Each structure stands twice: as structure tokens, then as C-alpha cells.
Amino acid sequence: MKPNCECMEMTIQRLKEFYPNYTHVYFNDIELLSGGLTNAVTIEMGKKKNYLIVKHAYCPFCGKKYAANKEVKP
């Protein structure tokens, strides 16, 4: 699933405008292979912790469904 909207790019551009002295502005939670956003979820049971990665199937900003990999044209 790949983003088929410009929300991440627009957000980064706005942040760069608001913080012009910062050299690197990026999302820490981008899934490297698809470019889609992910979230880490921590589940605690007593002293034991489990971590899950949730891959979004939609843009968390605009709600537009991510395109399947075969739908994205390079």
C-alpha cells in the first residue's frame, strides 16, 4: 500500500516554513518499503511488553485510502 495523496509532503513543507532553521524534517514512522505511515503500539502484561507495528491502509491526515502497490505508477 502506497500513499496516493500529498499530505505527508505538504505537512513537511509547512513545518519547514514554520521552522526554517531546522535542517531535517521527516516522519519517523514511515514504513520503508511502501512509504506509508505506521504506528508502534505497546502492549504490557505485567512486566512483559510486546510491541506491534500497525500499518495504515489510509492516510491519517485526509482519510484517502492508500493505493495497492500494483495501482501506483512510477
- Beta-carbon contacts of residue 69 (< 8 Å; ≥ 6 apart): 1, 2, 34
Q: pTM for the full model?
A: 0.65
Cα angle 56, 26, 51 (rounded to 5 degrees) comes to 45
In this prediction, residue 72 carries a pLDDT of 52
Tell me: pLDDT of 68 over 80.
no
Residue 20 backbone class (left: φ over 0; alpha: ψ -120 to 50; beta: rest):
alpha
- How confident is the model over 6-52, as pLDDT tens digits? 998 999 999 999 998 888 888 888 777 778 888 888 999 888 999 88
- Regarding predicted confidence, which is higher, 73 or 30? 30
Would you state the pLDDT for residue 39?
86
Q: Which residue ranges make up each domain of the chain? A: 7-71
